[in-house]
């Protein structure tokens, strides 16, 4: 763990950023949405987008805003009341983000997710595809958990976990968690005068969990420990995490320039390496595709994607997003990767050019059967 004043390349080079902001910040300690504070963050988000960054916002605050609109002074415990508060509050939350971003010339989109969306492979890929399309269009997705339909005590656990899962989902470079704390301290600074700020450490270091304790606010659900665990989860796909005070002036812009604010928890695995290792480690594959000699050269020697026109046969039954083998005409595995099409669809487009996909499938999907970023060559 280090103290540093130099600009961090992890921050400077981050192009795809997930920002998570906590309930106590968004709602001014539970007194309803703080439109002025949200406006300041939206101004910074707009600057990042205009700087060429891809930005996703994960925002808490729906239940707290709903409580205010319904006149409830304390957070209810009944699931149906929490769901009702979330439904009421979500209206105000999205309205504020939409208007504040639009004032700055940036489009926004509402995305509500549940655990089921990320546990189901098909829905996971659909959510990923939608989010990637939005950020490529320069739109800022505003994500919250779909609290009105979940019943596991209204939680992914908390929006820190949701932020980490979204970072995994879109393969972000950086997760920024804005909170009401200055960052991670070596001990609780409210109890220990000798506690010091941890400026930089490795994400996943077990010592961090001991430091984090269980400090949290009464409005949201996440204490410092959930943030440390979120950073560990985000690091699994190669994303580093910053935990910083949300009221720090221009925090997002300054972080994007590499300034040391709060605590930086650095992922130890590169982004592409993490995904490709996951693909390579798959012991069971649902199926495979046979390819011709030309496709072997393109995939193995030229580092290209696998196109359906180079396929000669489809074996097994698999879904979109499953890991499949790519085999030459002798049956030797030359690569493995994530299928963009189901086995049934693959059989329809086997040996065909992408110009024929719409006629054969009824829709136009990806031109590749397996994209090169999702391909790992077999040893």
pLDDT score of 121 more than 80 = no
Residue 241's DSSP bridge partners are 175, 265
Strands 54-59, 140-145: pairing is parallel
pLDDT-based confidence at residue 30 (cuts at 50, 70, 90): low
H or E element that contains 79:
helix 79-103
Q: How many Å apart are CA 66 and CA 83, to the nearest integer?
A: 9
Residue 374: CA atoms inside 13 Å, Cβ hemisphere, count?
18
Point out the least confidently predicted range of 127-136, 205-214, 301-310, 349-358: 205-214
Residue with tokens 């590749």: 368
Exposure string (b/e) for 156-176, b if CB count within 10 Å is 16 or more? bbbbbbbbbbbbbbbbbbbbb
| Residue of 172 and 7 predicted with greater confidence | 172
pTM metric for this prediction: 0.83
Q: What is the mean pLDDT of residues 275-295?
A: 85
Residue 61: CA atoms inside 13 Å, Cβ hemisphere, count?
30
Question: If 0-12 CB within 10 Å is exposed, 13-18 middle and 19+ buried, where does residue 258 land?
Answer: middle
pLDDT-based confidence at residue 3 (cuts at 50, 70, 90): very low
| Residue of 289 and 268 predicted with greater confidence | 289
Residue-level pLDDT at 32: 80
DSSP-derived letter for residue 111 is E
Residue-level pLDDT at 280: 79
Domains located in the chain, CATH noted: 9-269 (3.40.1160.10), 276-377 (2.30.130.10)
DSSP-derived letter for residue 282 is -
Q: Per residue in 78-119, pLDDT tens?
A: 889 989 999 999 999 999 999 999 999 999 999 999 877 887
Mean pLDDT of the chain: 89
φ/ψ (deg, to 5) at 221:
-120, -10
Task: Please check whether residue 214 is in contact with residue 223, taking contact to mean a CB–CB distance below 8 angstroms.
Answer: yes
pLDDT score of 147 more than 90 = no
Exposure string (b/e) for 124-135, b if CB count within 10 Å is 16 or more? bbebbeebbebb
Task: Please check whether residue 275 is in contact with residue 53, taking contact to mean a CB–CB distance below 8 angstroms.
Answer: no
Name, of 203-207, 225-229, 325-329, the range with top average pLDDT.
Answer: 325-329
Q: How many Å apart are CA 154 and CA 283, to the nearest integer?
A: 35
Q: What is the mean pLDDT of residues 166-186?
A: 93
φ/ψ (deg, to 5) at 301:
-100, -35
Point out the least confidently predicted range of 109-113, 142-146, 302-306, 325-329: 142-146
Q: Per residue in 328-346, pLDDT tens?
A: 999 999 999 999 999 999 9
Q: How many Å apart are CA 62 and CA 34, to the nearest integer?
A: 12
Residue-level pLDDT at 317: 96
Using DSSP, state whether 364 is helix, strand or coil: coil
| 220 torsion bin: left (phi>0), alpha (psi -120 to 50), beta (else) | beta
């Amino acid at each position: 763990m280090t103290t540093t004043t130099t600009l961090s390349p992890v921050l400077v080079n981050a192009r795809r950023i997930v920002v998570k902001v906590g309930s106590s910040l968004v709602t001014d300690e539970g007194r309803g949405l703080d439109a002025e504070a949200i406006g300041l963050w939206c101004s910074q988000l707009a600057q990042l987008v205009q700087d060429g960054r891809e930005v996703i916002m994960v925002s808490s605050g729906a239940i707290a805003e709903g409580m205010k609109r319904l006149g409830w002074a304390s957070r209810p415990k009944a699931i149906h009341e929490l769901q009702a508060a979330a439904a009421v509050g979500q209206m105000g939350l999205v309205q504020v983000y939409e208007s504040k971003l639009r004032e700055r010339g940036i489009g926004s989109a509402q995305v509500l997710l549940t655990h089921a969306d990320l546990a189901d492979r098909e829905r996971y890929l659909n959510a990923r595809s939608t989010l990637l399309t939005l950020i490529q269009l320069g739109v800022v997705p505003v994500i919250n958990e779909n609290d009105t339909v979940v019943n596991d005590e209204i939680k992914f656990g908390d929006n820190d976990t949701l932020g980490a899962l979204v970072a995994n989902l879109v393969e972000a470079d950086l997760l920024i968690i804005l909170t009401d704390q200055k960052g991670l301290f070596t001990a609780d600074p409210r109890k220990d005068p000798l506690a010091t700020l941890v400026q930089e450490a490795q994400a996943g270091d077990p010592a961090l969990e001991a430091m984090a304790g269980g400090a949290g606010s009464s409005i949201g659900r996440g204490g410092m420990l959930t943030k440390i665990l979120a950073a560990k989860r985000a690091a699994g796909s190669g994303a580093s995490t910053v935990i910083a005070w949300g009221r720090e002036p221009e925090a997002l812009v300054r972080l994007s320039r590499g300034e040391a604010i709060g605590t930086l928890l650095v992922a130890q695995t590169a982004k592409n390496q993490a995904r490709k290792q996951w693909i390579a480690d798959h012991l069971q594959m649902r199926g495979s595709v046979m390819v011709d000699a030309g496709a072997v050269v393109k995939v193995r020697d030229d580092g290209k994607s696998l196109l359906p026109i180079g396929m000669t046969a489809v074996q097994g039954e698999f879904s979109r997003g499953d890991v499949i083998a790519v085999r030459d005409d002798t049956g030797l595995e030359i690569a493995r990767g994530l299928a963009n099409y189901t086995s049934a669809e693959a059989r329809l487009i086997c040996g065909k050019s992408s110009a024929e996909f719409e006629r054969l499938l009824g829709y136009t999907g990806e031109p590749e059967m397996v994209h090169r970023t999702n391909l790992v060559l077999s040893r």
